[in-house]
Structure 1
Amino acid sequence: MGVPLRKNVQFQLLWLGGAVSQLGTTITALAAPLLIIALTGSPLWAGVVGGVRAAALIIALLPAGVWVDRWDRRATLVWSQTVQAGAAASLAVAILTGHAPIAVFLVLAAVDGACSAFSGPSRTTAIQAVVPKDQLRTAYAQEEARGHAARVAGPPLGALLMAAGRAVPFVVDAITFAVAAVCAWFAKIPARTEERPRQKMRHDVKEAGAWLWHQRGLRNLTAVFLVLNLLGGATLLPVIVLVGERGGTALDTGVVFAGIGVGGVLGSLLAPRVSLAPGRLIVAVLVVFGLCNLAMALPFGVFWPFVPLAVTAVVTPLVNVAVSALFTELVPEDMMGRLDGITTLASRVLTPLAPALGGFLAGAAGGGPALLVSGALILLTALVAVFTDLSASAPQEVPPRA
């Protein structure tokens, strides 16, 4: 019997750093679009900035995966989070000095997205290195709980910090990334036991891609996750616009988005007890997402979207934990970084369009109609998924993560 997870100092340091940095990210995830809309008067610009960040992340995913498989994962995690701290601090300075045109938001969003491409697989491989296999499912559930707990506190805290000063949320974000970098530095992540031969990056990517290509049913799941990530990501700005249309303040918007965290924490507690295959779970997630998007448009007041967002968030950790555990079980350790990048790329390649799509729909038709459109499209995807063979994905396949 190994050391209990709660006494695993290395994992808890990684978890603490991730929790703090994710809190900062959720603070600015609301503060940034609110500030951009206030400065430009356009939800579309807020969507474009979000799209640029997602595009930078996607472009950097494959080289980041190769890098993580080749080099020191602890150093990669430390430096990527240090650069993110610098980017957030730079944005805060630009806002404080009154020199924050939209170009500054675009450039720093790209820097943050590219760094996330390196920190993501670095964290994944680091956790697998310090947690025994029989504890990984519990560790992934704790990771999910971390993220959703941050979503409970982050949005209302972001709104409160915005009220204290437009630059304050970004100062806090910079501090959280710095704390995460320190935690990663002190975590004793073991070095790899074998040195991989230095080959061209193209060869490394091709090798991992070929391994993944031969996993049955992956293409069907990739398509489903692709649509889910696109349409799910397009709902953020319509919800912000909807709350504003109903007379809500920035703090009201933060409270509404805290519903995602509340539901996510509950789902994280349930996740270790759910044994359904990822294919069945993703169909359930699509149905819940679609119905909840439609429900948010109901005219029940400013805070009503809190409820559908919370319900949606309950089912998300179930899929993420099941897929992460399956991914760890099947993927060779020396391919983990590359396959993390490839599967993330395959399932999120359209996400740069999501914020712009949500901003366009909300700007053209309003928050409610935009949510009705996205909800209908998600339900249509669920209908297609019902008649698509997703059952073969487990336990022999590695689906992409949502």
Structure 2
Amino acid sequence: MQPLRRNLRFQVFWVGSAASELGSTLSGLAFPLLVLAMTGSPTQAGLVGAVAMGTEILVGLPAGALVDRWDRRRILLGADLVRIVTMAGVGGALLAGALTMPHLLAVAVVNGVASALFRPAHGASLRALVPPEQLPTAYAQEQTRQHAAGLAGPALGGALFALGRAVPFLVDAATYLVSFVCVAFARVPRRPETPPAPAQSMRADIAEAVRWMWDQPLLRAVCGLVLGCNLVVNAMTIPIIVLVGDPVDVGVVMAALGLGGLAGAALSARLMRLLPTGRLMLAGSWLFALVLPLLVLPLGAYWTAGVLFVAMLVVPALNIALEVEIARSVPDHMQGRVHGALNVMFSGLTPLAPLLGGLLSQHAGAAPAILVLCVGLVACTVTASFSRSLRAKGGLPVRETPVS
């Protein structure tokens, strides 16, 4: 077996993903900056992101079903092409002085649909490019990509926006072009390697995947734990920003998240060898529950950054362990549907997080808001600790059909 670094198809695929991830991260900061500059309204600044996120969640289940029906390579190429056009359109409208809020909201909807199709197609395609034995290493490289983009993207987005309002969106369009070329050169498999079931309705396709997931006790328990933890942890963003206050210090704190993720990706293999997936999920949740209350100590921005750095160390291992379980256990003709369903189940409550964090910060204050959210995190973790599936030594059953 050749080393993963010599797997040219995977590495080209990864380069394209890294480019588009960086572009998405920098434009993710540029969008609210642009709306604030246009309208002066924080509410409208958050609306564009909320619309994109909500659209992706709403169409997540049918998008996963379409990934299992359609040509996966064409889905990836089509999603990239759509996002090239939309982001270039935003940049062009800015240069022409013709950009409006309805235009931005339409872009949010279209890009939300494109992302809902791209993510499960990307997940299903990646596992077809890598032998089973190298999946943990491949997903660790994926985590490195994501956290590196999270570290560099916001700073780069702010700098490009300062050069010109259209610049970050044109750069984002260019990153999607890089992704388009890389997908084409990686020769992503077009169809599932295992034969799909006889033709049936999309509702039946989705129901088949949901039944398969429901029959896996470990997956049921993980979905419940991650759904609650995602809501609580994401709701802490606004209280943390309010608590830190100074914009420069907020940048330092947000950078600590990326640094912690990068360090955690390097540690992920060791952590995964120590604990099976369910116990690793519980350990990570307990780490959050014990560490995050320390944010309220009045020791300055660097203390806050250090706490978040420590909390992020375990996140890559959690993500990688679950991705490997899914890649090894889910039948290939069901990969798109399961990835789509998991995205919905994990993030279904996340759009409520900014509202929850904002309301708690406004009515109780930043530090009390963090403590209240930590109580919710402890409640989720204690409840999950009673799950026999999470405490078990085994994982999901490995499917019989090997990865080609």
For the criterion TM > 0.5, the same-fold answer is yes
Query: Any conservation in 2 of the 1:154–1:258 contact (CA below 8 Å)?
Result: no
Q: Which residue of 2 aligns with 1:107?
A: 106
Residue 267 (structure 2) aligned to one of 262, 265, 270: 270
Query: Any conservation in 2 of the 1:51–1:355 contact (CA below 8 Å)?
Result: no
Distance 1:345 1:31, change over 3 A: same
Amino acid at match of 2:18: A
Of residues 178-187 and 31-40 in structure 1, the stretch that sits farther from structure 2 once superposed is 31-40
Q: Which residue of 2 aligns with 1:164?
A: 163
Q: Which residue of 2 aligns with 1:281?
A: 280
Distance 1:373 1:95 in 2: 42
Deviation at 1:392, TM superposition (A): 3.9
Distance 1:210 1:387, change over 3 A: closer
Distance 1:89 1:242, change over 3 A: farther
Q: Give the TM-score of the pair, scaled to structure 2.
A: 0.88
Distance 1:105 1:236 in 2: 24
> Within 5 Å, which residues of 2 pair with 1:274-313?
274-275=272-273, 276-313=275-312
SS at 1:352's partner residue? helix
Query: Any conservation in 2 of the 1:89–1:174 contact (CA below 8 Å)?
Result: yes
1:258 aligns with 2:259: no
Distance 2:43 2:224 in 1: 26
Distance 2:5 2:239 in 1: 39
Deviation at 1:39, TM superposition (A): 4.7
SS at 1:395's partner residue? coil
Deviation at 1:120, TM superposition (A): 0.8
Q: Which residue of 2 aligns with 1:344?
A: 343
Of residues 153-162 and 230-239 in structure 1, the stretch that sits farther from structure 2 once superposed is 230-239
Q: Give the TM-score of the pair, scaled to structure 1.
A: 0.88
Query: Any conservation in 2 of the 1:217–1:397 contact (CA below 8 Å)?
Result: no
Distance 1:79 1:359, change over 3 A: farther
Distance 2:147 2:84 in 1: 22
Identical aligned residues as a percent: 43
Distance 1:210 1:233 in 2: 29
- Return 5+ residue gaps in structure 2 as ranges: 399-404
Q: Which residue of 1 aligns with 2:150?
A: 151
Query: Any conservation in 1 of the 2:77–2:184 contact (CA below 8 Å)?
Result: yes
Deviations 1:249-275 (A, max 9, x none): 4xx543331211111111111112223
In the alignment of these two chains, the number of paired residues is: 393
Distance 1:280 1:80, change over 3 A: same
Distance 2:302 2:97 in 1: 33
Query: Any conservation in 2 of the 1:43–1:360 contact (CA below 8 Å)?
Result: no
Deviation at 1:312, TM superposition (A): 2.1
Deviation at 1:366, TM superposition (A): 5.3
Distance 1:117 1:12 in 2: 23
Distance 2:74 2:154 in 1: 30
Q: Which residue of 1 aligns with 2:5?
A: 6
- Return 5+ residue gaps in structure 1 as ranges: none
Query: Any conservation in 1 of the 2:56–2:112 contact (CA below 8 Å)?
Result: yes
Q: Which residue of 1 aligns with 2:77?
A: 78
Deviation at 1:328, TM superposition (A): 1.3
Deviations 1:66-113 (A, max 9, x none): 111122211111111221222222333344445545444333222222
Query: Any conservation in 2 of the 1:62–1:338 contact (CA below 8 Å)?
Result: yes
Distance 1:169 1:239 in 2: 26
Output the aligned Cα RMSD.
2.5
Q: Which residue of 1 aligns with 2:202?
A: 201
Distance 1:113 1:77 in 2: 14
Query: Any conservation in 2 of the 1:51–1:354 contact (CA below 8 Å)?
Result: no
Q: Which residue of 1 aligns with 2:32?
A: 33
Deviations 1:134-174 (A, max 9, x none): 11111011111111111221122222223223332222222
Query: Any conservation in 2 of the 1:292–1:308 contact (CA below 8 Å)?
Result: yes
Deviation at 1:198, TM superposition (A): 3.1
Query: Any conservation in 1 of the 2:15–2:182 contact (CA below 8 Å)?
Result: yes
